[in-house]
Structure 1
Amino acid sequence: YELLRSHLHSSGEGRLLQASGMLGWKHSAVGMYSMVREAGVDLEKLELHGNGRSVEVVDLDKAILYEKDTLPHIQGFGSWDTVLYRRGFSGVVNNFLSNINTPELCSIAASAVLSSHMLAAELAE
């Protein structure tokens, strides 16, 4: 990926109020992200576009999948699912605890998450 644009805006106390930017990949695929806490509601949005398809993820709660010549497909969580489950924390913790005595079977590995953490650090600069 290549970071094409990024913008961060924080309060005087250091609280992140806005974040937005654009990433580019090979073959003209692009991704856009935004988060605004000043709009009356916390809103997080991620859009990915490429190869005749698009996906829009809102608040890590609902995904709308678009594909050329087809109707949009909406995918989401149940209204009773916890925030920890929807954000993936429950699965990560359960996997770690289930494999604490057999670390070779644990799917939580630094090599699996390092690239996303590096991207997050780059976006925060």
Structure 2
Amino acid sequence: MTAVRLDLIIGPERARQFIRERVQQLVTGDCIPQARAADMVCTAVLAGDPWVLADPGQTWIPRDDGQDPNDLLAAELYVAQRHGATVLVEDEWAQRAWRPVSVLDGYVLDTWHWARQASPTEG
């Protein structure tokens, strides 16, 4: 797997916030102890695990691991929405479809379009 440097993609503050939210979900939703949940989330983020990382506003590109490009859904996938274990992805031809999160297994997180989301200071 390709290592993901979330802090380089969205910045250290947003990376910390995202990781804290994922940890809290495991603590409250699955009753996993805080330290174990933090370890699980950090390991998954560094491994590029889409089950932890996939979130609206992201663009995923094929992993550079020698896999056959014909095995992939598209050359690039944009995550428009996420609902549990499914994501609404848009390909490079603007075709959208709900797919299981596992469709991103052959991809790596490339960019996260935070600018598309309004900041708290905008009015």
TM-score scaled to structure 1, two decimals? Answer: 0.27
Q: Which has the higher contact order (CA 8 A, sep 6+)?
A: 2
Decide which structure has greater helix share.
2
